Structure 1
Amino acid sequence: MPVKNAVSWNALAGAHGVAGDFEGAEGVSQATPARNVSWWNTDIMRNVRLGDMAEAARIFMEIPERDAVSWNSIIGGYAKLGMYDRALDVFQEMQESGMEPTELTVVSALWACAGTGEVELGRRIHSYLASKGIAADGYIGNALVDMYAKCGSLKLARQVFYGMSIRDVTCWNAMIIGLSVHGHSCDALKLFDSMKIEPDHVTFLGVLNACSHGGPVNEGRAYFNSMIGDYKIVPTMKHYGCMIDMLCRYGEVHEAYRMIKDMPIKANSVLWKMVMAACRVHGHFDLANKAFHELHQLMPMDDGDVITISNAYAQAEWWDDVEHLRTKVIGYSASKHAAHS
């Protein structure tokens, strides 16, 4: 090109970043002779993608003149990395600077409010949107439903949800999971049954969680089988976790044990802990012993697990096993102490 302006340099640097060639992007960026606000924004976004928010913040502070993209990049970066308090601090600074927030700003800020439980700030953002005549639809509507649901303001979440003209699967998921997590299992399942669009794997996490905390076991089994058979969704560890939790809560520990053994993915320690604890509560001491040995193969014994199985042995009056476990724990503790000294 006979003439290269800031736009062409920024485009090239941005292309390197999108391709994942951050070293190349840095080289082009540093070679750029004329640095306008787009150059600074590209540099911020590259560091955000790398997860280096300290460097992104440093560049942000150096920008001679910030635009909405500059603010959105830094707020969105903090929110995506779970640095919600920092995201909200910068959002407040943006408002104080007189810069009008965009839809992307609002979505990031609401996401941060959901992460911190800052429902009052979320409500103020909602009021601001209403004052500007901005409808609670699309990404903004989804973010509001998610924020209110996660903060436990289910009445407001429902108002936004039912006021939306179009509800995608993300919106349905936020409402179903919000109801489920806050103990409204029946409402969560009713809402799922009224869905007008196809659910995804996240939807079924909400549904199975609702079954675990209040739905009948048969209903939970039916939803799990429907997820696999009707919607061809492959269960993840989280789906199995909901099912194991549900079965254990209702005393179906043998079924829970079989499900773990038949899983196509290797069970983690959390699932075996669930089964072991439920077996002790429901008096299935042989199965508790099996679960304990499965758990012990995955990880070293910890105090909580030892207490749980020891109590199970004592309830079953297996005093030899109590003594054997005690000897084993003492030997394990001694070897651990020797290794550290």
Structure 2
Amino acid sequence: MLIISRALITFRCFNKFTVLRSLNLPRPVISVKCKTTITSIDYSVSSSVARSNWLITNLSKEGKLSQARELFDNLCERDKDVITWTALISGYIRIGLIDEARKLFDRVDSRKNVVTWTAMLNGYIRSDRIEDAERLFAEMPVKNVVSWNTMVDGYMQNGMVDKAFEVFDEMPERNVVSWNTMLTALVQCGRVEDARALFDKMPKKDVISWTAMVTGLAKNGRVDEARKVFDRMPERNV
């Protein structure tokens, strides 16, 4: 049995029992209005992975890492799954505690999945630790398109355009985000010819692709060309 004491649960657009029902908890004798924060509810509940994950994820997102960590540390190992670990790792990354996130990451062992690896990768990139990101990326046993996009974006953020191209060319699959990441970065660093060549190769374009290309051409004095691209846009935003 796990005692959850003084659970901090924020209600926004829910009625007073929405979250409690989602946790399968009994209704307390307490008056709560919408947009009210519960700060003193004591429950004795059977620990379940779903309940624990819900609480840890939401506490982490709200920056309440001490409460999330306390709950995490009091869970039996059988009541933790990869979502539990990844939620807390992401919480530490969100507030910039990358080394603490890495300690947890190393403890997950064989339970890590591609989401866990990508969360840690993103943490290194957000902290401008590109060399750590490179090492982690090389160690990843499985990569998905989000992992590849994250590494490409990391190189672009650090001005390492050629390295970004290398990773982009190695990608086994690409989505429109992959192409837009490269396109936007090329435009931002003034490599309009490369951006235009990439744009013309794109198998699928969205409004972000078209807008990035139009903006890049216009900012580099190629107004007539920008207008031609603009006129070809299948959809436009404001």
TM-score normalised by length of structure 2: 0.72
Distance 1:204 1:102 in 2: 34
Q: For 2:90, give the aligned amino acid.
A: W
Residue of structure 2 aligned with 1:142, choices 115, 118, 141: 118
**Post-superposition CA distance 1:18-53 (Å, at most 9, x none):** xxxx99x97xx97xxxxxx96239x9xxxxxxxx99
Q: Determine the C-alpha separation between the residues in 2 that align with 1:122 and 1:164.
A: 17
CA drift of 1:104 comes to 0.2
Q: Does 1:71 align with 2:52?
A: yes
The 1:70–1:256 alpha-carbon spacing in structure 2 relative to 1, beyond 3 Å, is same
Q: Which amino acid aligns with 2:107?
A: Y
Looking at structure 2, the residues matched to 257 and 113 of structure 1 have their Cα atoms a distance apart, in angstroms, of 46
Contact 2:81 2:111 in 1 (8 A): no
Q: 1:212 to 1:78 in 2, by over 3 A?
A: farther
> In the alignment, is the contact (CA less than 8 A) between 2:89 and 2:105 conserved in 1?
no
Among all aligned residue pairs of Structure 1 and Structure 2, give the percentage whose two residues are the same amino acid: 20
Instruction: Return the alpha-carbon distance in structure 1 between the equivalents of residues 175 and 35 of structure 2.
Output: 32
Q: Is the 8 A contact 2:59 2:68 kept in 1?
A: no
1:234 to 205, 216, 233: 205
2: CA distance between counterparts of 1:134 and 1:215?
Answer: 43
Partner of 1:212: 187
Give the letter for the 1:264 counterpart. P
> Is contact 1:209-1:242 (8 Å) kept?
yes
Cα 1:122–1:246 shift into 2, 3 Å: farther
Distance 1:53 1:63 in 2: 21
Secondary structure of residue in 1 paired with 2:44: coil
Q: Does the C-alpha gap of structure 1 residues 178 and 96 become closer, same or farther in structure 2, counting only changes over 3 Å?
A: same
Structure 2 partner of 1:122? 101
What is the number of equivalent residue pairs in this alignment? 214
**Structure 2 CA distance, aligned partners of 1:77 and 1:186?**
39
Q: 5+ residue gaps in structure 1?
A: 1-21, 31-36, 44-51, 269-341
Matched, 1:223 2:198: yes
1:159 corresponds in structure 2 to: 135
- AA in 2 matched with 1:63: Y
Structure 1 distance, partners of 2:199, 2:35, is 40
User: Of Structure 1 and Structure 2, which has the larger fraction of its residues in helix?
Assistant: 1
Aligned CA-pair RMSD: 3.4
Corresponding residue of 2:214: 244
**Any idea what the Cα deviations from partners look like across 1:154-191, whole Å, max 9, x if unmatched?**
11211121111221111111111122223222211221
**Is this contact kept in 2: 1:212–1:249, CA < 8 A?**
no
Is the contact between residue 212 and residue 243 of structure 1 (CA under 8 Å) also seen in structure 2? yes
Q: 1:1-341 alignment to 2 at 5 Å?
A: 39-40=24-25, 61-65=41-45, 66-77=47-58, 83-86=61-64, 88-100=65-77, 101-129=80-108, 133-134=109-110, 137-195=113-171, 197-214=172-189, 216-228=191-203, 233-236=204-207, 238-268=208-238
| Equivalent position amino acid for 2:214 in 1 | I
Residue deviations 1:234-258 (CA, integer Å, cap 9, x gap): 313x323432343244332333344
CA distance in structure 1 between the aligned counterparts of 2:157 and 2:163, rounded to whole angstroms = 11
Which sections of structure 2, spanning at least 5 residues, go unmatched? 1-13, 28-33
Letter in 2 for 1:159: R
Normalising by structure 1, report the TM-score. 0.53
Q: Is the 8 A contact 1:84 1:113 kept in 2?
A: no
Amino acid at match of 1:213: Q
SS at match of 1:171: helix
Query: What do residues 253-300 of structure 1 show as CA deviations (whole Å, max 9, x unaligned)?
Result: 3333443344222332xxxxxxxxxxxxxxxxxxxxxxxxxxxxxxxx
